[in-house]
Amino acid sequence: MSPMQRKQCLMNTVVRPDPVFVRGQGAYLYDQAGLAYLDWVQGWAVNALGHSPEVVTAALARQATTLLNASPGFYHPPLLALAEKLVSLSGMDQAFFINSGAEANEGAIKLARKWGRLHKGGAYEIITFDNGYHGRTLATMSATGKPGWDTYYPPQVPGFPKARFNDLDSVAALIGPGTVAVMLEPVQGEGGVIPASDEFLHGLRALCDRHDLMLIFDEVQTGCGRSGTLFAWQHYGVMPDVMTLGKGLGGGVPLSALLARRRHCCFEPGDQGGTFSGAPLACAVGSAVLDVLAQPAFLAQVRQRSRQLREGLEALSTRHGLGEVRGLGLLLALAMPDGGAVELVELAREHGLLLNAPRPHCVRVMPALNSTEAEIEEGLRLLDGALAMLVHPR
């Protein structure tokens, strides 16, 4: 087959640029021609420690030759170690592991529905938010607040009324006897990197306490050090009852987690699971990755790189007449009020920098959390070059 015909063997589920990437190392991806690209997408924030970090490859090799897989119905050391680590780091009481962010969120939704059936007279509505994102399974799509997203997939899974983000009154107005939970991202990632306000999250916590609602934080994108603290809720000092993690947790290997306070842990055997749930290989990697991410010195370094990146982006915004820089830690966006984000992503790639545009009016940057000062400088320089081409088209 020709290279084009081979590409056409794939279902048309994502817009892929031309280069075929054959290798990744640290902050860089390399294409078939040997060209290096500084990767500020990093697997959509999956590669917390960059491409093929030794921490991950060594844990994989060790575990692969010790115990590659076991039934999800058995205990094994990597599963027990990861559960203990995450529970003690998060202040939650119990954990469940699966493969993707959407599956972890499905677990959170089911946990809330069961808890509602057992303790709140069958209440099952989970208030979610306009512009929020929770995944691409049917239930998580229904929880997602993206206009036009459900055109071909009706009927929606019922029970996800939408409130306006950062608007406490719009949440309060939706609460009724059928409400069991409120679910949100502390920073809306796919929605354009929009952080919750301090006041809003504190208000939500109080509202949930008053109405005995489960507060669920989807930290699939913001968790695992991405925000500059291990979990984004630590920035706000607002602890959820239930939280989900994914992406960076496996450092490049599929792994996600559902964590909950004891009071809400109502699953019984058979309620939730999957063939790959809590598999040894993924759990061993997750533990090794967390050992790095949870170190205070590592998180301090993420915050330092975040300041450098934010200041650099602000300078570029001023120079090129763009909008605000927003986000937390190394999950930042540069707003482009006049649009052009998709074009900028392409130009940046031509300059050797990989970016992503979750919305036409902003580009998102998610470098590896262990990026060096020099790598951040290099990315800013490449972005400056791409912006110059955008403002003064060839």
Rg (CA), the chain: 21
Our CB check for ligand PLP shows the closer of 126 and 382 to be 126
Q: Is 100 in the site for ligand PLP (CB under 6 A)?
A: yes
Q: How far apart are the first and last CA of the chain?
A: 35
Q: Is 233 in the site for ligand PLP (CB under 6 A)?
A: no
Site string for ligand PLP, 17-46 (x = CB under 6 A): ---------------------------x--
The nearest distance, CB 378 to ligand PLP, in angstroms, is 26
Q: Using the rule CB under 6 A, which residue among 83, 102, 213, 281 binds ligand PLP? A: 102
Catalytic residue check, 247: yes
Q: Using the rule CB under 6 A, which residue among 50, 116, 135, 203 binds ligand PLP? A: 135
Q: Is 190 in the site for ligand PLP (CB under 6 A)?
A: yes
Q: Is 277 in the site for ligand PLP (CB under 6 A)?
A: no
Q: Using the rule CB under 6 A, which residue among 24, 50, 78, 101 binds ligand PLP? A: 101
Binding-site residue set for pyridoxal 5'-phosphate: 101-102, 218-221, 275
Active-site choice (37, 124, 133, 236): 133
Binding-site residue set for N(2)-acetyl-L-ornithine: 136
Q: Is 246 in the site for ligand PLP (CB under 6 A)?
A: yes
Catalytic residue check, 218: yes
Binding-site residue set: 101-102, 136, 218-221, 275
Rounded distance, CA 50 to CA 30, Å?
13
Q: Is 134 in the site for ligand PLP (CB under 6 A)?
A: yes
Q: Is 189 in the site for ligand PLP (CB under 6 A)?
A: yes
Take residue 112 and report the two structure tokens written for it: 């809330």
Q: Is 125 in the site for ligand PLP (CB under 6 A)?
A: no
Question: Which of these ranges, 77-85, 98-106, 121-129, 296-304, lies near ligand PLP under the rule CB under 6 A?
Answer: 98-106
Cβ neighbour number for residue 300 with a 10 Å cutoff: 11
Cβ neighbour number for residue 34 with a 10 Å cutoff: 8
Q: Is 218 in the site for ligand PLP (CB under 6 A)?
A: yes
Catalytic residue check, 146: no
Cβ neighbour number for residue 8 with a 10 Å cutoff: 11
Take residue 146 and report the two structure tokens written for it: 């993206």
Our CB check for ligand PLP shows the closer of 274 and 385 to be 274
Q: Return the SS3 of 307.
A: helix
Rounded distance, CA 295 to CA 309, Å?
21
How many helices (DSSP H) and strands (DSSP E) are in the chain? Answer: 13, 17
Rounded distance, CA 229 to CA 348, Å?
29
Pick from 309, 319, 300: nearest CA to 375: 309
Q: Is 286 in the site for ligand PLP (CB under 6 A)?
A: no
Q: Which residues contact 46 (CB under 8 A, 6 or more apart)?
A: 247, 248, 250, 251, 252
Take residue 4 and report the two structure tokens written for it: 């084009």
Question: Which of these ranges, 33-41, 79-87, 205-213, 214-222, lies near ligand PLP under the rule CB under 6 A?
Answer: 214-222
Can you spell out the DSSP letters for 332-366? EEEE-TT--HHHHHHHHHHTTEE-EEEETTEEEE-
The H-or-E segment that residue 247 falls in is: none
Residues annotated as catalytic (active site), given as ranges? 133, 218, 247
Contacting positions for ligand PLP (CB under 6 A): 44, 100-102, 105, 133-135, 185, 189-190, 218, 220-221, 246
